[in-house]
Structures are given as C-alpha cells and as structure tokens.
A and B are shown apart, each in its own frame.
Chain A
Amino acid sequence: MVLNRKSILARMGLKGDWKRRLVVEPFLSENRDHDSSDASIDFHLGNRFTFLRSRHAVQHDPLADPVHDVATTERFVPLGQDLSLEPGHVVLGTTLEWFRFPSDLIAYVIGRSIWGRRGLLLVTAQAVHPGSSGTITLEMSNLGDVAVRLRPGTLIGQLFFHRVEEVQEPEPPLRPRKSPFAGATRPILGEYRWSESEKLLLNL
C-alpha cells in the first residue's frame, strides 16, 4: 500500500516510537505545507558529487576490482553554485536530506518530471529498503542533447513510500539494515559483492 502525505507526516511525528518512526532531516517545513503531490515527499539535491572516469580500460567491469578500472573524482558544490552535467555523462549525487527508515517502510526514488523532460534521468525505480539510514545516493545521467545545470538545494526528486506487509504483525522489529552504505553521507561507488549463486554461475 502506498502511503499518502498525511500518513508519511504522521510517521515522522512518531517521536519515541523508533519501530515505526520515519526521519527526514532537515525537513524544511514547506514540504509539510504544500500539496503538489498527495502520496510522496520531495527531496533536495545535496552538495556532494562523484564522477567516474576510466583509468586505462576502455570498458568497465563492475565485477572486477573497481580500483583497477575506474577512478572517481569527488566534488563539493556549495548551495548557490552549480554543476554542469554534459550529455551522455553520469554523476552520482546525494540527497540533501538524511532518511532513516523504519523496518516496515520501503520507498521508491522517482525523479521529478520537470527534470526528466529536460533529459535528466534520476535512476529508475531505485528502492530504499526498510531499515536503511543515511543520505540517498542518486545516480543521475543526462540523456538529452544539451548540458543540464544541477544546483544543490533544488527539489530534484520525490519518494513514494510503501508498507512492507510481512513485518507488520504483530509489530515491526527494531532492526537497522546491515548495508555497506548505512550511515553514509557521500556518494560512493561501492564494491561489487558476489552472491553465492554468482560465484557458481560465473565460474562454471
């Protein structure tokens, strides 16, 4: 079930009830007031950006040692300044807000159409898992023909919240999600973690 704006705000107001409480910080109260969308909350673009560039390989293999193939360049763009994203380029950004999810909520990150219509693709249905905590990394690519100017602080996307039914009865556990990205504030590439099935299938 998708939560409406009222339910999302109610979750944020559950002080002391950490099993159900959703935290969005900073939550600038405009988000509380305007009702442009009834079933989501908007988030702002943060200040940290990470670019990927090839070291010497012409092709990147995510399963190989990432340090070998690609290098990352990090930039901090203060509020009031901007960053140009050229056509065909990809950049990792973050949300200005820190999100703390209870273990019975999941959210989908959706770009705002005002950006999408100008060629900026802001991930496709990236899910934020229950129990996640930190700023959300945004994978942004420019599919248009002209460069897009990105300004930290702009409302760039929105989150749609869903309830995860299995853990609602009798009550959701108080359990943070064990993720290498937990508590992160910077957009990082992360290392590929091989699953057991991948270890088998890719080595057959």
Chain B
Amino acid sequence: MDSSWQVRCLQDRIQSLNSEIARVRQKDHPYPEPNAIFRTLLAVLSDRQSRFDKAVKRYSSAGRERLLEETALTTATQLDEIAEAFGLADRVDSARIPFEILRAVSWVASSILEEACRVAVRLDGAYNYSIVSCRRRFTRLRWNKFWDEATRELGPEGRFTILVLGFPSAHANSILLHALAAHELGHLVRGRFTEELEEIRTKAVEAAKHRHSELLQEYILDNVRRREGVLGRDAYDESSRRMEARLGQLADDWLGEVFADLVAATLVGPAFLAAFDEIVLELGKPSLTHPPGTLRRGLVKEYLQQRLQKVADDAVWSGVLQREVASDPLFGPREVDGDPDRPLYSVGQTICREGLRELSAVAMRIPSPLETADLKKIVDQMEDHIEHLSPPSAGLDDSAPITPDEFWRLMYAGWHFRLNDERFAEFKTNNAWDDGNAEHVIGNLVMHALESMELRHQWQKYRENKE
C-alpha cells in the first residue's frame, strides 16, 4: 500500500471535516446546545490531527510503514466517529421544530434521569423517534475532557448532558405524537438500573434457550461455515459462539425496547400506545433490534392492567387497548422471507415474555404521574379547557407547586380528549374543523400548555427566592 497517498487522503479528510463543522457552527442556532457539540468535535478533531501528524513524522522513515498504516486505520475510524457525532447536531435549527417545548422537556428529563439535562431536537428523515445522550456517548468514545471543556460555558449546572431527541421530520408539529419521547427517555432511564436489568436478561435468556433448545440447535447447524483447514467440531463451536453473541445482543436490544415501553406506559399510560400505533405501522415485523410491535403492545397492555388498572378500564382507551392488531391483515405477523435470523425472533419473543414480570417490578419503582386519586378530576378539567380552546395548563392552581408530573398528565389529557369520540366530534362541529385541523389545534393547545407550565414553575421559583 502507498502510505503517502493514504496519509494525504486522511489529512484532506481532516481538513474537510474541520471546515464543515466550523462552518455549520457559525449558523444561527436558536439554542446554544448544538454549539457545545460542535466545540467538542472540533477539539477532538484537532487532538486527533495533532497525534496523526506526529505519527506521520515519527513513522515515515523506512521500515516503519506498518506502524504508519495502523495509525492511519485508527485515525480513519476516529474520523468516522466524529462524522457520525456531527450528524447529531445537523438539522437542529429548523423553525419547524417545536422549540417551545424544549425547556419543559429538559425539565422533565432532568427530573426522571436524575441528571442535569438540556434537550435539542433534530429532525430525522427516518420515520422514527430516537434519543442520544451526548455525555454518555462521548464518554464511551473517551472524549470526556473535550466535552467537559465545551459545556463549561453553557451554564452553572456543572456536569450535565445534552439529549438529542430525533423527531420524524414529517411530524415535527404533531405534538401529540411526541408522547413517544417518554419511550425514548425510557432508554436512558435504563442506565439507572443497569445491574438489575442485566440479571433479568441473563435469567430470561437461559429460560428461553432451555425452551427453544432444538430450534437453536438447528440454527447453529444451519450456520456452520465449512472452511478449509477447520475441523467440523471447531466450525460447530464457532457457529455456537456466534449464535450466543447474536442472541445476547438481540436479548439486550429487545428487552431494552420493552423496558422503555414500560417506562413510557408509566408516564403517559395508554397514550403511549395511541402514539405508537401511528408511528409503528408494520407491527408484525421483528428485526434484530426491535421486537414485533404486536408483542410490545401486548406486554404494555398487560403492564397497564397490572399497574394502572383504573386508567386501563377507562372506556376512552378501550379502542387502543382492545385493538386486535394480531388478527389485522395489515398488522398481523409477517413472514420475514430469507432472513437467516428468523429462528432467533421466536426465542426473542420468549425472552421478552419471560422478562416481563421482573421488568415490570423495576418499572414500578418509577413513580407514575397517573397514580393519583384525583386523576379523573384533573383530566376532566384539562379536557374542559381544551374543549373551550383554552390551554389545559390554565386550570393548574398557582397556590400549589407545579411539578414535572403535569407535563405527562397534559400529554395524557391531550390524547384522552382526542380519543373521546363524542367530545372530539363536538369539538370539530363547534369550530367547523375537519380531523386534521382539530388535531392540529389540540396539539397547539397542549404545546402552549407545556410551555406555560414550565414558565409558571420558573415564576414560582423566582418568587420564592425573592421572598
């Protein structure tokens, strides 16, 4: 390999990445959080460039090309990581983003994650929601010192993270759908219970392996790779190890999704499923990272009936909870033709079912904003406001402290109103709106309420401090 050519390519790539990040950093971003990401990336890039240049000088002499090639490969991988992280802060400045709710989302995220959080929203071309904690990702990449330096200017909180929430671009303004942010936060809540969840995973995997031993045996045999010079027994062992690794990863991802679902159900109840149904259309289709939607719905339903029975019994949610998705020709189980991992999906389903009881027990330790004796009264009052085109937060009493729980109850009430057929029909008739307009206005009312309740909370704190 021509090392000098490879070195030139890498140096060009560093320059190009550097100028692109510096250029985008200068754009007018409404909030300063993306700048912290750009500053981190520029600092990492500068550090890697300096190391690479030193290595080029040191290893360019004859006989040390191999070391130079290794350094080049490592640098290329690091540049990929920087480029990928750059994508986090891309499309975070569009005026279409509902910036109004970011302060409120940061507030509730800090509360549930027990860590100071700032939130940025990125419009994602893909039709899904996502979340990344910059601090966690950058720590994993060993960029901590650059991150700490870059975030020092942002505020007095000390150590904090920036959560980049990905919203599907086409639904940036569908506020009710953003109830799915509860699921995304659930992924990060997982970090609070790492050891317990690991134990649950191990037990569930063992139980499922025992139950599906024949199926897994077939899978191992089907995936034995015959290679010259490798004994049959060794090839079998290799296939067995590959199966273990793949199943372990699948169990980790699938149980992670189920746990995040349970957290979402804890926070917004069946409203999570209502939003879920609008986004996850291929409910019957599993993948290595996600269990089939039909299974997830079933597990959430079971959890809700156990934890929030009164909520689950509310007639408004019957359409969502009783929906027979499994027998629906559109949503029913899908054959995944030609997918070599198909047998693992059956095992994965058993793992999720095995793990549900213990996952539920962990999720139950997270307080639910819906577990309040006054829920019906609170929601009635919020709906009354929506019906009369008044933000549902306007009914909150100023004499009591406004808490992050209100955020989730407002989301819950917005969906509860939307799914109350009688009330929604009357709302449309009174205002001469079609479904789309009416939903849009409910979204605006909820968005304004989320923004207002956070401002009122800040106002309460300010007054208290002053007194």
Alpha-carbon distance between A23 and B95 when the two chains are bound, in angstroms:
27
A125 at the interface (CB under 8 A from B): no
Instruction: Give the dominant DSSP class at B's interface.
Output: helix
Give the distance in Å from the alpha carbon of A176 to the alpha carbon of B390 in the complex.
Answer: 11
Residue of B nearest to A185 (CB): B444
Chain A residues lying within 8 Å of B390, measured Cβ to Cβ, are 21, 23, 25, 98, 100, 133
A88 interface residue per 8 A CB criterion = no
Pick the contact of A98: B97, B391, B432, B456 (CB < 8 A). B391
Q: How many residues of A contact B (CB 8 A)?
A: 29
The stretch that binds B, out of A57-65, A72-80, A114-122, A141-149, is: A72-80
- Beta-carbon nearest neighbor of B444 in chain A: A185
| B393 pairs with A185, CB closer than 8 A | no
A40 interface contact, C-beta 8 A = no
The answer, yes or no, to whether B18 is at the interface (CB within 8 Å) is no
**With A176-B430, A176-B431: A183-B99 Cβ-Cβ less than 8 Å:** no
For residue B441, which residues in chain A have a CB less than 8 angstroms away from its CB?
A: 182-183
Determine if A47 is an interface residue (Cβ-Cβ < 8 Å).
Answer: yes
A18 CB within 8 Å of chain B = yes
- Contact B389 A133, beta carbon cutoff 8 Å: yes
CA distance A77 to B430 in the complex (A): 34
Nearest residue in A to B96 (C-beta to C-beta)? A74
Q: Closest approach, in angstroms, between the C-beta of B174 and any C-beta of chain A?
A: 14
Is A185's CB under 8 angstroms from B100's CB? Answer: yes
Asked if B95 and A25 sit within 8 Å, CB to CB, the answer is: no
Min CB–CB distance B377 → chain A (angstroms): 13
Most chain B CB inside 10 Å of its own CB: which residue of A75, A96, A175, A183: A183
Contacts A26-B459, A47-B100, A183-B441 hold; do A178 and B431 have CB atoms under 8 A apart?
Answer: yes
Chain A 1-33 interface mask (CB, 8 Å, partner B; 1/0): 000000000000001001001010110110000
- A180's nearest neighbour on chain B, judged by CB, is B437
- Tell me the bound Cα distance from A37 to B32 in angstroms: 37
User: Which one, A18, A23, A178, A184, contacts B432 given CB within 8 A?
Assistant: A178
Which of A73, A78, A96 has most B Cβ within 10 Å? A78
Residue interface bits B424-448, CB-to-A below 8 A is 1, else 0: 0000001110000000110011011
Quick one: which of B255-310 are within 8 Å of A by CB? none
- The reply to whether A184 and B444 contact each other, CB–CB distance below 8 Å, is yes
Q: Min CB distance, B465 to chain A, in Å?
A: 15
Measured in the bound complex, the distance between the Cα atoms of B445 and A23 in whole Å is: 13
Q: Does chain B have a CB within 8 A of A135?
A: yes
Chain B residues near A135 (CB-CB < 8 A): 448
The reply to whether B456 and A26 form a contact with Cβ atoms under 8 Å apart is yes
Task: Establish whether residues B448 and A100, one from each chain, have CB atoms under 8 Å apart when the complex forms.
Answer: no
- 19 additional A-B residue pairs with CB within 8 Å, beyond A23-B390, A98-B394: A15-B395, A18-B384, A18-B388, A21-B388, A26-B455, A74-B95, A76-B30, A76-B95, A76-B100, A77-B30, A98-B390, A98-B445, A100-B388, A133-B390, A134-B444, A176-B388, A183-B389, A183-B431, A185-B447
Give me the 7 closest cross-chain CB pairs, A-B, nearest first.
A183-B441, A133-B389, A74-B95, A26-B452, A23-B390, A25-B394, A100-B390
* Interface, chain B (partner A; CB < 8 A): 30-31, 95, 97, 99-100, 384-385, 388-391, 393-395, 398, 430-432, 440-441, 444-445, 447-449, 452-453, 455-456, 459, 463
Could you show 14 A-B contacts with beta carbons less than 8 Å apart?
A18-B384, A18-B388, A23-B390, A25-B394, A25-B452, A26-B459, A47-B99, A76-B30, A78-B30, A81-B30, A100-B390, A178-B431, A182-B441, A183-B441
